[in-house]
A = this chain, B = another copy of it.
Amino acid sequence: MPEECGERCTETCLCSLEGIITTVSKKWALLVINTIGHYQKLRYNEIMHELHNISPKALSDILKRLEREGLVRREVFKEIPPRVEYSLTEDGRELRRMVIPLLKWASNRHNLNVERCVNRYRRVRLHKIKDEQ
C-alpha cells in the first residue's frame, strides 16, 4: 500500500456519521428541514399537508429526531385546541445552507431538472430547495 500522508494533515472523524449524517440520511429529514426552513414556522398538520404522502408516525419520528439533534425547535402553546409550532434552529438553518452545494453537485452530475422529477418525491410540492439570496 502507498504510504500515508505526513503528521501535519488535519483529521476529520467519521464518527460524526453517528450523529448528523445519519440523521440527514433518513428518508424525510432533508425534506422536512427544507419545508420548515422555507416557511419559517409550521404546525404539525401543515407539514403533513406539505408532504402529503408521509404517515403521522414517520413525521413524528423524524421531528423528534431532528429536535434531539438540535436542528428543529418545537414550541408548544397551551391552548385548546393545542397548537405546536416547528421552526429551524440556527444549526438547522446552517445545515440547510451547507447541504445545498452537495445537492447542487449531485443534481448536475445526473442532469436532473424540473422535467426529470419522476421519482418518489414527485408529488411533494416543496421537494426543491430554494436558495436564499
Q: Which of B2, B14, B22, B112 contacts A13 (CB 8 A)?
A: B112
- One digit per residue, 1 when the CB lies within 8 angstroms of any chain B CB and 0 when it does not, for chain A 103-133 equals 1111101101110110111000001111111
Please report the C-alpha to C-alpha distance between residue A106 and residue B91 in the assembled complex, in whole angstroms. Answer: 10
Copies in the complex: 2
Report A9-39 residues with CB < 8 Å from chain B CB. Answer: 9-22, 24-25, 30-31, 34, 38-39
The interface of chain A, by Cβ under 8 A from chain B, is 1-2, 4-5, 8-22, 24-25, 30-31, 34, 38-42, 46, 70, 91, 94-95, 98-107, 109-110, 112-114, 116-117, 119-121, 127-133
11 A–B pairs (Cβ distance < 8 Å), ordered by A: A2-B40, A8-B133, A12-B107, A13-B129, A15-B127, A17-B30, A20-B109, A21-B102, A22-B25, A98-B102, A98-B105
